[in-house]
Structure 1
Amino acid sequence: MKRRTALLLGVALAAAPTVQAHAHTGHSTSPGEVPVTTEPSYGRGWQPLAPIASGPRQEHSVTAIGGKVYVIGGIVADPAGGFSTTGRMEVYDTRRDTWSKAAPLPVAMNHANVAAVGGRIYVLGGLSGGAAWQALGDSFVYDPRTDRWTRLGSVPAGTERGSAAIGVHGTKILLAGGMRTLEPGSGGLQDTVDTVSSYDVVSGGWEKLPSLPQARDHVGGAVVGTTFYVLGGRDRGQVNVRDTVYALDPHYRRWSERAPMPTARGGIAAAAVGTKIYTFGGEGKHDGTGPDDIFAETEAYDTVRDRWQRLAPMPVPRHGTAAVAVGGTVLIPGGGIAGGGSPVDVNDAYRPGSQPETHRHR
């Protein structure tokens, strides 16, 4: 795949072991196989960046500190066949368009709940395992100045999950929804929850918040102002994708429903820039006819006007990825390009405002 580098934005612990895993339902590609047959078309706000140095990655987590993007955990192709959960962490320097290695997560995880607060990275549980991925309560904080991970207290018993919507408000990390179990394979259990909680990085305390109106996992999340938004996602499997948008008012401590997404989808990536939340890609069809279909959609939610806008689609459609905003540009490294496990090393950036408005949806 031809790539152009066009955007430049202004050891403490031993390597974590890998864990054998399997592809999701409908997986039709071999590990490392990239079923992309056409050259990606960039432009209209999209630019290709240096690909992930270590190779393809999916179901990972992404966050940013300063001008650096951290890619944490996920699944990678296993030389023996299938996929492995990894604790690997890599760092993308947006100013130099280069990659480097950092201390790995002490416990290998996919679908990890990750956020950056006060110049440090917090991992608050995730999924891991073999034939079935189970929720882990293991939590850690990473200091980029020392390249060291420190173990934190575990996620409260009964609220462990991965694939939650994540937001940050002040010193608190908000987690909404997620899943406790994911059994890859036809008909495998996908145990979605409606749990909502917050972790205070200063006190180290957890707080239970009002539950989501409906359970969600593989969902987008962002805080704009003081409001926590939860967008799309799915409920117990790829055929049950949703277009709903929920907003949590921190003062009244209750959820309200906002304008729905133009396209129902789970496995999306989301990031906020200003007062808008941008959503990318995804997997699944709500009518059950194409549970492993991959979306190219880029759609933006205006939190002030409560309306949606359709934007230029992803040059490389993906699911099982994550997005983060750096200096007004959204970066999206890795993800899967076919239903199930199909990781790639693609690293793209989207710059809002680089194209005219195309369509509004309310």
Structure 2
Amino acid sequence: MQRRTVLLLGAALAVSPAVEAHAHPDHPASPGGTPHVEEGPYRRGWRRRAPVASGPRQEHSVAAVGDKVYVIGGIVPGESGGVTTTTRVDVYDTRHDTWSDAAPLPVAMNHPNVAVVHGRIHVLGGLSGGSEWQALRDCFVYSPRADRWRRLPPMPAGIERGSAAIGVHGTKILLAGGMRVLVPGAGGLQDTVDTVSAYDAVTGRWESLPGLPQARDHVGGAVVGGTFYVLGGRDRGQVNVRDTVYALDPRARRWSERAPMPTARGGIAAAAVGTRIYTFGGEGRHDGGNPNTVFDETEAYDTERDRWQRLAPMPVPRHGTAAVAVRGTIHIPGGGVRGGGAPVDANDSYRPAHR
């Protein structure tokens, strides 16, 4: 396995400077309504599941506790067109293929940063707002047994962001990259950061880690074998999708670069099963053409061999969704089927043949 070390820093916090970088001028506004969903074949591990009961959802996060998948926040179709940020939390029972409601988020968020430690769901900031989505410092922890949210101290000032890559290492939640501002629509500001932080869910303490080699948002994240992987994503706009894979050894505090993704894309969903990380869908420039293309790619990264494999494509190509594994099956609820905001209620699962 070849590994190339690309960055070695101390504990100083690294934040990308604010840059007037924007979405592609042709990036569509959110049209409102429910877009038509075209399905491909369900084969080679793919299975259609009960659609999201509350309706279309996009730019949410997911978490698994036991056999249940929690769909947290995001955007939904607005009553007067366009989309709106929601507090909704929906619960999918993977054994019975049924949906139920959970206590809503205390604050409406899209692109929330979500992770599970000791059976509790942590939300560490996200984005919210009307025509301009700004980063929030709000943090909460949810007890599934009590169906109750509890407010935590806010994120330290200056590191708030949404759409970060997330991983869990012991009791620490790792956040890499993300964005502080997202203005939806043509030419909208997208403020991507390279900030890397860790939150200890037991002590409540925040720690600054070496920054990413390059800023990323709408990026995949997973911890496998104690290493935190940050996959794909984009840097200040849909035309700037990336194929990079960065790996952090939390103890050595060093980033290295691994084999790149076969397909550069942002807005992906990612989940780990065993020693492999599976990546799904995405949005952005495709083969140098339309920057608003939605991807159907399913690609798996073997962390032991530093090698990628192309797998059966998504039956419903989507971006702005999220993925989580339960008993070796990966669940992918919601997402957008067109560039920008185009939420749908599709809910699929993928069962890897080799785990």
1:75 is matched with: 75
Structure 1 residue 141 corresponds to structure 2 residue 141:
yes
1:278 is matched with: 278
Point out 4+ residue stretches in structure 1 off by more than 3 angstroms: none
Q: Closer, same or farther in 2 for the Cα pair 1:92/1:323, shift >3 Å?
A: same
Residue by residue over 1:323-358, the C-alpha shift from the partner in whole angstroms, topping out at 9 and shown as x without a partner, is 000000000000000000100000000000179xxx
1:33 is matched with: 34
* Local SS of the residue matching 2:100: strand
1:289 is matched with: 289
* Local SS of the residue matching 2:294: coil
Q: CA deviation at 1:251?
A: 2.2
* Local SS of the residue matching 1:215: coil
Residue by residue over 1:81-123, the C-alpha shift from the partner in whole angstroms, topping out at 9 and shown as x without a partner, is 1111001000000111100000000000000000011010000
Contact 1:25/1:339 (<8 A) preserved: no
1:163 is matched with: 163
Q: What is the identity, as a one-letter code, of the residue corresponding to 2:32? A: P
Distance 1:50 1:287 in 2: 33
Q: What is the identity, as a one-letter code, of the residue corresponding to 2:27? A: G
Q: What is the identity, as a one-letter code, of the residue corresponding to 2:128? A: S
Structure 2 unmatched ranges of 5 or more: 1-24
Q: Closer, same or farther in 2 for the Cα pair 1:144/1:56, shift >3 Å?
A: same
The alignment's TM-score, normalised by the length of structure 1, stands at: 0.89
Residue by residue over 1:248-307, the C-alpha shift from the partner in whole angstroms, topping out at 9 and shown as x without a partner, is 012211100000000000000000000000000000016653111000000000000000
Structure 1 unmatched ranges of 5 or more: 1-23, 356-362
2:333 is matched with: 333
Structure 1 residue 226 corresponds to structure 2 residue 215:
no
Give matches, 1:1-362, under 5 Å. 26-27=27-28, 30-36=31-37, 38-285=38-285, 289-353=289-353
Contact 2:33/2:81 (<8 A) preserved: no
Distance 1:91 1:168 in 2: 21
Contact 1:45/1:354 (<8 A) preserved: no
1:15 is matched with: none
Contact 1:92/1:99 (<8 A) preserved: yes
Q: CA deviation at 1:26?
A: 2.7
Q: CA deviation at 1:40?
A: 3.1
Identity, in percent, stands at 76
Residue by residue over 1:213-254, the C-alpha shift from the partner in whole angstroms, topping out at 9 and shown as x without a partner, is 000000000000100000000000000000000000122111
Q: Closer, same or farther in 2 for the Cα pair 1:25/1:202, shift >3 Å?
A: farther
Contact 1:240/1:288 (<8 A) preserved: no
Q: CA deviation at 1:32?
A: 2.6
* Local SS of the residue matching 1:168: strand
Distance 1:134 1:288 in 2: 30
Distance 1:214 1:26 in 2: 23
Distance 2:330 2:317 in 1: 15
Aligned residues: 331
